[in-house]
Chains A and B, each alone.
Chain A
């Protein structure tokens, strides 16, 4: 026992050097793996949110200990055949061997078990534990029904020393469908807390600045963003793109590194702006910097930037068609007469409606409507006479193709097609403004 204790401690420290704050998981995994020749648990299920170090921990353990292993990402395996072949071929390449001349072909689980045993023999791995790491394991559920149970019991089926490690973002309970599962050993990777995030982020401090200074900066960034975002990689991204702005006064010679108050004052409004676009990743860091320079020149930039994000230029009739579709989606069909009939007395009827009885249609989302109704509303609101030409109908199709409308029923034109409008109220308001149409006046919810 004494002999084995030290290597484990060594590996723990070397692995956790590159991946901090995960000591307990590393220890646990390493003790599960044991020595090379020891039998391991048949399956380990590691789960946790994105960017909690699942893959990183397991990869670096497997690499530092030089254990025979293969990594497969289920996203790539759009059929089970690919999964089998990826595992088998990966075993060759990952263990320093040249790929076999003809890649292994494998059609089903039965072949896989047989070939797997054969491969292990081939590579002289009978006396070692072979690790199969399956990333995005939740995809396995969508494949053939036998795959998940078979992988969980692979040790038994292949009659060899193999350990299957499943990585996923969702809990194990969601995997239980059907029977015949061997329960895997479950390892949870919890979210990092604020201090841990700080410890990890500070490791990527840029050159030329002291760690304390960067830590100061990071705690500022975290104080703003931690409320909305705890994703490590997103925070990394944010810290990286905003650092240049933070140190701007230092570069200009207006402040020193210790002058944190001044730096914060300069930095705060900028962070508030960045908060609006968190998660969007619409700009690369270079473009973000360019945008900042422009926004310094004119303060209007961010507002414009945000509105231009959703602004779409449309042909004249397309605008009306879209408005008509919006009205048809959010107004009950019964109310059409009230809004669009020329002879009805608007004031008399609006009093009759009891406000408390109806639910807000905007809360319920868009409703499907037939093409006829769309055209009727269109003709009621459009200015001037419009011939029902093929071009008009073509525009409906092109609105569908850019996902401003969606077709919900009726695949061809003869079978009355139904549509839904997919745009938001703000969007339709801005479209209506460009054609001087007061859309709110025609909406049932706002009358």
Chain B
């Protein structure tokens, strides 16, 4: 993620310079434009998805915040002698903490729009004492830009001079909404959308990461707020990453009984991820695609590490940037409409670049020899061919996704899920290889041939309903085909009746034979294909229909010529940036310094030590040969032996090395200690303990 931020910054500062350095064809401008446009499209789509996903839970929260103080009136607290509880929404958000920032900022804007302009959000890092917490709350409430749109009164005092206590807030609130009562003009200043907010908008206080708050601060804060609940309408929203029991770990009963909690569960982040994958990667709308390895890697990071969709999207963005940055002809990765113009405007050099793509070379080799020459030499012919090939990929995409969804529906009910439970898993397999050749696919088809009628019809029905979106011309008959199949399934009962007597007749023939012949006949009978019932026939027909459908459309993208233009699969690159492994990098640097120093002298086969290496590398390599405890003197001697050249090597010098060598050695050792490879030990004098094992 750090790398990503760095790159983005660089681009915005002087994109021209940055790109020129590695740009050989002069297409960087175009590529940059394509990238920016493509990313903007994807980004807006993601925003839409995000608001769709959270809309339900946010609606619930908004409703809760609105209704909790419906009957509130100023000064009502004194009449009611029994102390009230603070309405609290326990908002369980899930452990994907990186996503929460965005989620809460959307929640704040939603609440401000729909419930009350008085919203404060507290983060644990700002709230290490009651005082800080209170001042944070008050500052956010007082300096709310929504309240002072056509300002005629000054922002009440500087918060620094003000006493930060709840009573300040109470008097401010009472001032504000009492005057509103009398003068309609000021009430208007709350903004147009606030008409339905009622006379006394509640004050909503959000705790973004409740678990990290200091318990005593939170307890005090809540008890303070409770004392004023009669005078100002407060509503709490607790953002809880784990489970509601966290509240009880933080708050003793005396405090938690001041709250009236209601639980809200945010949708799991996997749901969000599925939406992102389905609507951004698995659609023909966006030409950019992830290759199988990168897709799998991003999924792995998500599932194994953080559950963070935000990081997934960042990964996607990085992949896009790297794709357009490294691939000099990636500006061809555009929509069908622009395709022809782009291809015709290709310069000869660029055409050459496209010709060099591996998939195109393979394609040319498959062509008849007469055509081969044209392809390689005649730019005009090649360009025409490019258009055809790229169009083919576009149509492939438009066919792929509806059919893939059908496949997923068909295999999703199969026990043990040989092709995967989720659509994304099926997709990932498809990216990897031709899915219909895999063993798992064959197993699935076999199992499908054994499904019961009800199940099969249900599957067909689902497939039919998944094909609602506008289909490409080739697939336009598919829904009606499915309907026809379904129809036949419905009518099949009538046919079955007729055929049953035949079977009984046959079994009658078996009588009156001796044991030997009976067995023989039975064996023959077994070998002979059992007569199929009409349902079975139809089922086979259906499965065959689907099988051929899948085989036709679910081709692996890597088998298509010029797929490199759309598919990004630089797995190593993305892994290095997104899933960095610091230790292996350090070990790599220490064991083969030439990789980083780019000098010839240090180049050697792994395992050997040469004197030209930096001191720390020599010390590191020597320590690899040691056991758990390393004698410093032995280590020094070995070090001196390596460092000093052969000529001036004598016994005396090794035994008593000069000060400079000793200093170099000690420095190398302490650097290794800093990197965590050795540590001083008290178990034996003049020894250090080794801390790492393995590696080369």
Contact = CB atoms under 8 A, between A and B. Distances in A.
B262 A283 contact: yes
A259 to B, nearest CB: 31
Nearest to B311: A391
Interface stretch (B38-46, B251-259, B414-422, B589-597): B251-259
A232 to B, nearest CB: 11
Contacts, number: 136
A312 interface: yes
Nearest to B171: A99
The number of chain A residues touching the other chain, given as a range, is: 35 or more
Contact of B581 (A85, A315, A390): A390
A388 B305 CA distance: 12
A314 B303 CA distance: 9
Interface in A312-355: 312-318
B165 A82 contact: yes
A32 interface: no
Contacts of A237: 257
A398 B97 contact: yes
Among B246, B262, B582, B691: residue with most chain A CB under 10 A: B262
Q: Among B94, B261, B301, which residue has the most Cβ atoms of chain A within 10 A?
A: B261
Contacts of B547: none
A281 B256 contact: yes
A75 B220 contact: yes
A429 B248 CA distance: 21
Interface in A397-447: 398, 401-404, 414
Interface in A219-243: 231, 233-234, 236-237
Interface stretch (B182-190, B237-245, B439-447): B237-245
Nearest to A285: B260
A403 B211 contact: yes
Contacts of A311: 243
A398 B95 contact: yes
Contacts of B94: 313
B261 A283 contact: yes
A4 interface: no
Interface in B570-625: 579-584
Contacts of B241: 401-402
Interface string B146-162: 00000000000000000
Interface residues on B, range: 35 or more
B166 A387 contact: no
Given A75-B223, A281-B256, A283-B261, A315 B95 contact: yes
Contact of B583 (A73, A231, A388): A388
A395 B87 contact: no
B227 interface: yes
Given A402-B95, A402-B241, A76 B305 contact: no
Most buried by B among A50, A237, A284: A284
Contacts of A317: 304-305
Given A82-B165, A392-B305, A401 B209 contact: yes
A392 B582 CA distance: 11
A404 B242 CA distance: 9
Contact of A398 (B165, B249, B257, B306): B306
A76 B225 CA distance: 9
A136 B94 CA distance: 36
Interface string B248-290: 1100011011011111000010000000000000000000000
A95 B645 CA distance: 95
A401 B211 contact: yes
B174 interface: no
A394 interface: yes
B348 interface: no
B375 interface: no
A282 interface: yes
Given A50-B254, A76-B165, A315-B305, A389 B261 contact: no
B139 interface: no
B129 interface: yes
Contacts of B212: 401, 403
B257 A282 contact: no
Contacts of B245: 309-310
Contacts of B304: 315-317
Contacts of B130: 78
B244 A309 contact: yes
Contacts of A318: 95, 305
A394 B260 contact: no
B562 interface: no
B131 interface: yes
B582 A372 contact: no
Given A281-B256, A317-B304, A388-B584, A312 B261 contact: no
A280 interface: yes
B446 to A, nearest CB: 27
Contacts of B268: 313
Contacts of A75: 220, 223-224, 227
A136 B220 CA distance: 11
Contact of B249 (A86, A401, A403): A403
Contacts of B302: 315
A103 interface: yes
A280 B263 CA distance: 12
B87 A284 contact: yes
A210 interface: no
Contact of B253 (A279, A402, A403): A279
Interface string A280-315: 111111110000000000000000000011111111
Contacts of A86: 165, 167
Interface string B192-235: 00000000000000000101100000001001100100000000
Contact of B224 (A76, A79, A308, A392): A76
A18 interface: yes
B582 A390 contact: yes
B242 A281 contact: no
B304 to A, nearest CB: 4
Interface of A: 18, 50, 56, 73, 75-76, 78-79, 82, 85-86, 103, 136, 231, 233-234, 236-237, 279-287, 308-318, 372, 387-392, 394-395, 398, 401-404, 414
Given A76-B165, A313-B94, A401-B212, 14 more contacts: A50-B254, A280-B248, A281-B261, A284-B262, A286-B262, A287-B262, A308-B243, A315-B304, A316-B304, A317-B304, A388-B584, A391-B305, A402-B97, A414-B674
9 contacts: A73-B227, A86-B167, A281-B260, A312-B95, A312-B243, A315-B304, A317-B305, A388-B584, A403-B242
